[in-house]
Amino acid sequence: QVQLQESGPGLVKPSETLSLTCTVSGDSITTSYWSWIRKSPGKGLEWLGHVSYSGGTSYNPSFKGRVTMALDTSKNQFSLKLTSVTAADTAIYHCARHVRFYCGSVGYYPLDYWGQGTLVTVSS
Amino acid sequence: DIVMTQSPLSLPVTPGEPASISCRSSQSLLHTSGCHYLNWYLQKPGQSPQLLIYLASNRAPGVPDRFSGSGSGTDFTLKISRVEAEDVGVYYCMQAQQTPWTFGQGTKVEIK
Phi and psi dihedrals of A90, rounded to 5?
-65, 125
Beta carbons of A63 and A82 less than 8 angstroms apart: yes
Q: Is the peptide bond before B18 cis (omega within 30 degrees of 0)?
A: no
Mean pLDDT to the nearest integer, A80-105:
96
Minimal CA separation from A40 to chain B, in Å: 11
The answer to whether B88 faces chain A, any CB pair under 8 Å, is no
Mean pLDDT over each residue of chain A, to the nearest integer: 96
Say if residue B86's pLDDT is above 90. yes
Q: Please give the share of chain B, as a percent, with pLDDT higher than 70.
A: 100
What is the helix (H) or strand (E) element at residue B105, kind and residue range? none
What torsion do the CA atoms of B100, A39, A42, B10 make, to the nearest 10 degrees? 100
Residue A30 neighbours by CB under 8 Å, 6+ apart: A53, A71, A73
Mean pLDDT over each residue of chain B, to the nearest integer: 97
The answer to whether A55 faces chain B, any CB pair under 8 Å, is no
Q: Write down the pLDDT at residue B75.
A: 98
Say if residue A43's pLDDT is above 90. no
Interface test with A, best of B35, B101, B105 (most A CBs within 10 A): B101
Mean pLDDT to the nearest integer, A5-24:
98
Contact A47 B55 (CB under 8 A): no
Residue of A nearest to B39 (CA): A110
Residues of B in contact with A104 (CB under 8 A): 33-35
Contact B35 A108 (CB under 8 A): yes
Mean pLDDT to the nearest integer, B87-95:
98
Q: For the segment B58-84, what is each residue's pLDDT rounded down to a tens digit?
A: 999 999 999 999 999 999 999 999 999
Q: Write down the pLDDT at residue A93.
A: 98
Contact B33 A106 (CB under 8 A): yes
Contact A44 B51 (CB under 8 A): no
Mean pLDDT to the nearest integer, A79-89:
97
Q: For the segment A100-118, what is each residue's pLDDT rounded down to a tens digit?
A: 999 999 999 999 999 999 9
Return the closest-CA partner of residue A76 out of A18, A37, A27, A33. Answer: A27
Q: Write down the pLDDT at residue A42.
A: 82
Q: Which of A60, A103, A110 sits opposite B51 (nearest CB)?
A: A110
Say if residue A17's pLDDT is above 90. yes
Q: Which of A44, A104, A108 sits opposite B103 (nearest CB)?
A: A44
Q: Write down the pLDDT at residue A41.
A: 84
The answer to whether B97 faces chain A, any CB pair under 8 Å, is no
Interface test with B, best of A2, A40, A45 (most B CBs within 10 A): A45
Beta carbons of A99 and A112 less than 8 angstroms apart: yes
Q: Write down the pLDDT at residue A98.
A: 97
Minimal CA separation from B55 to chain A, in Å: 8
Residue positions counted in chain B: 112
